[in-house]
Amino acid sequence: MSSTIVAQNVKKSFSTGGGRKRRVTEVLRGVSLSLEAGEMVSIVGPSGSGKSTLLYCLSGLEAADSGSIEVMGTQVVRASRNSLFKMRRDHVGFIFQSYNLIPSLSAGENVSLPARLAGRPLAKKQVESVLESVGLRGREKSRPGDLSGGEQQRVAIARVLAARPDVVFADEPTGALDSKNGREVLGMLRKIADDPRRSVVVVTHDLEAASLADRILVLKDGQVVRVMGRSTAAQILEAMGGSQ
């Protein structure tokens, strides 16, 4: 197996307020992790423990202060904007709680946009086939506003699948969905990670979602306090000390 992400001793602080009211909060206090191709990792922990910040630092959306993060061999910490742009374009896909679709574009156009921007336009058949793979056959022309939340998230997954990324980062992907749609979306994420070339990192409060991962990292106060192999939601809850 080969590593898609290797992160060592990642630190990140935020400062808020100015002058005498300036406060520095250490949000990540030396996080290390590695992710293998074909693996799904969940990051869980109490609210404010730094889960989203970690995801954004790993993907280069947020700049870590120190440490080392390699994504598919590219060093992310203190990388140039150009190198981060290329790393994200060539290797990374994102799924957010809020879907982040462009409302004025159809489902098909949303799916094909990243490939078009990367100068590798998709054939109509490819767009149809990737939408079909997420259960949206024949919905190419629908606009996000005409789709349910679950369907919009599936378009977002189709957009990621079309770009064939090595690593998919998902931040609370089921946070806005009911449990049935949430389960379907999670099944799709699990399927992405079952491809031996791909890996998935999911930040979630949903412990059923977390239990689909091969490894679960429990974050507390900006540090990884537990690393678990395949676990049930009840075992994860126990590892978190009984509180989400």
Ligand X SMILES: Nc1ncnc2c1ncn2[C@@H]1O[C@H](COP(=O)(O)OP(=O)(O)OP(=O)(O)O)[C@@H](O)[C@H]1O
Q: Which of 47, 80, 82, 243 binds ligand X (CB under 6 A)?
A: 47
What's the rounded Cα separation, in Å, for the pair 168 and 147? Answer: 23
Point out which span in 3-11, 44-52, 80-88, 159-167 binds ligand X (CB under 6 A).
44-52
Q: Kindly give the residue spans of alpha helices, DSSP state H, lying in 30-106.
A: 51-58, 81-91
Q: Which residue has the tokens 């094909």?
A: 112
What's the rounded Cα separation, in Å, for the pair 207 and 216? Answer: 10
Nearer to ligand X, 31 or 155 (CB): 31
Q: Which of 42, 50, 127, 152 binds ligand X (CB under 6 A)?
A: 50
Nearer to ligand X, 130 or 219 (CB): 219
Selection from 102, 91, 16, 32 nearest residue 60 by Cα: 91
Q: Which of 2, 24, 48, 179 binds ligand X (CB under 6 A)?
A: 48
Which residues are CB-contacts of 164 (< 8 A; sequence separation ≥ 6)?
none
Q: How far is the CB of 56 from ligand X (least distance, A)?
A: 8
Q: Please, are residues 162 and 111 in contact by the beta-carbon 8 Å criterion? A: yes
Q: Which of residues 52-71 bind ligand X (CB under 6 A)?
A: 52-53
Nearer to ligand X, 55 or 158 (CB): 55
Q: Is 45 in the site for ligand X (CB under 6 A)?
A: yes
Tokens describing residue 230: 């395949």
In the complex, which residues of this chain contact ligand X (CB under 6 A)?
A: 14, 16, 25, 27, 45, 47-53
